[in-house]
Amino acid sequence: MTTVADLKGQTVAFAASGGLDSCTVTKWLTENGVKVVCFTADIAQPDESNFDEIETRMRACGAADYVAIPLHDMIAESGIEVIQFQARYEGAYWNTTGIGRHVIVAGMIPEMKKRGATVLSHGATGRGNDQVRFQLCTNMLAPEVTVYAPWRDREFLKKFPGRSEMIDYCNSYKLPIKASKNAPYSTDANLLGLTHEAGKLEHLTTEPWFVTPGMGVLPKDAPDAPESVSVRFEKGRPVAINGKATTAFQAIQTANTIGGKHAVGIATHLVENRFVGIKSRGVYEAPGMELLGSAYAFLLQLVLDRRGRELFDQLSLFVSKQIYQGYGFDLATHMARGAIAPITNLVTGTIKLKLYKGRAEFEAAEDVPHQMYSEANASMEAIGSFDHADSEGFLRVLQVSARALAANGQVTAPAWAKV
């Protein structure tokens, strides 16, 4: 395991967000004779009103150099793929931070190679998922690069048992940190969403509405009148919102604004199973992902037949876990992309949603050329080509196996049936 002593005199490429961990690690490494070059990914993080201030903070903390990496398109494209897979971890979390770590590493590696840097460092703690994501993504994309994690270095842990000591350390050097000891929780942000955790959110008596939203409003503060919004997809990609042509980045930006206004995808509570084996509580914001993802889900309902739906659901569940655990670049995920491609190519159509007090409900579907739904065949009225009497033969076939189960003692009714 690499320690700070091993790095003395070397150059480290540090993935810097500009937060407390970044400031602390940069200053501490510099004090220990390590040259730190800070790399900050511009992934349209909404909690940074002035992105350029991150460079000022990091240089004040001792960074020998600073590199800003523009990744707006990459984070947007990754978000579209998450939507196409409906990749919500444990059914609720749109994997916004998980995929964000993949994007950061994918953006850092080429910049590191340009500068001959061979050590990548990050400020992720030893209890969370991010350490795994940074490690595995780097190992896969650049196996020759060493990963140094201060939060797994005994020397760092000895000096900084927790956030309180880090804040005292930074204040002693008058470093320009934003964190304070009375902060109610911590937040990680990118274009796709915000992750709130720790602090008072660790108490399950703290309701999710305790957070102050950064990408919208709480349902109680949303407009009292619903708003309709239409999203046009072509081959799985959003190409227009409310009739206006859009790029992937613009689509998520616009959806963030409209969805956030109506509290869609705001303050989603989840007690999740971290990859490291502990449970954690997160409160999430992802208004654009929820809006676009809901519209996409309604198109999938129209396009997929029964067997296609079953396979898609398995792929969705699998990729949700892959992204969450940091395996988004491996062979299995690549195989899943190939498997889902035929489905994605069929997802064309316009979905109209009604947004109201945190909900994005179906309103209408139009121009869906590959839909399996037939109003005539689904009708209970005497129209269409489906003859109710034709089901007699179908049921005769099904009853053979049902009666065979009963005849061979393989049917057990539950207690509540009382048969």
DSSP states along 235-279: TTEEEEETTEE--HHHHHHHHHHHHHHTTTT-SEEEEEE-TTS-E
> The tokens of 291 are what?
């809006």
Instruction: Give the per-residue pLDDT at 404.
Output: 93
Instruction: Give the per-residue pLDDT at 328.
Output: 98
| Block mean pLDDT (10 aa), the chain, length 419 | 94 96 97 98 93 96 98 98 98 97 98 97 93 98 98 96 94 92 92 96 97 97 98 98 98 98 98 94 98 98 97 98 98 98 97 98 98 80 71 93 92 86
Cβ atoms < 10 Å from Cβ of 320: 22
Supply the residues annotated as catalytic: 21, 101, 130, 186
CATH architecture classification, 4-185: 3-Layer(aba) Sandwich (3.40)
CB 145 within 8 A of CB 118: yes
CB half-sphere exposure, 413, CA atoms < 13 A: 6
Instruction: Give the per-residue pLDDT at 376.
Output: 76
Instruction: Give the per-residue pLDDT at 260.
Output: 98
Looking at 86-146, list the stretches that DSSP marks H as alpha helix, in order from N- to C-terminal side: 96-115, 130-141
Q: What is 343-358 written as a DSSP string?
A: HHTT--EEEEEEEETT
Buried b (16+ CB within 10 A) or exposed e, 168-194: ebbeeeebebebeeeeebbbbbbbbbb
Instruction: Give the per-residue pLDDT at 178.
Output: 86
Instruction: Give the per-residue pLDDT at 379.
Output: 67
Cβ atoms < 10 Å from Cβ of 359: 16
> The tokens of 11 are what?
């150059």
Instruction: Give the per-residue pLDDT at 388.
Output: 84
CB 37 within 8 A of CB 12: yes
Domain boundaries, the chain: 4-185, 187-366
CB 215 within 8 A of CB 46: yes
CB 38 within 8 A of CB 66: yes
Instruction: Give the per-residue pLDDT at 380.
Output: 61
Instruction: Give the pTM.
Output: 0.94
Instruction: Give the per-residue pLDDT at 381.
Output: 63
Domain 187-366 classified CATH 3.40.50.1950? Answer: no
Instruction: Give the per-residue pLDDT at 116.
Output: 96
Instruction: Give the per-residue pLDDT at 223.
Output: 98
| Burial environment of residue 37 by CB neighbours within 10 A (0 to 12, 13 to 18, 19 or more) | buried
Same topology between domain 4-185 and domain 187-366: no
Instruction: Give the per-residue pLDDT at 225.
Output: 98
Rg of the Cα atoms in the chain: 25
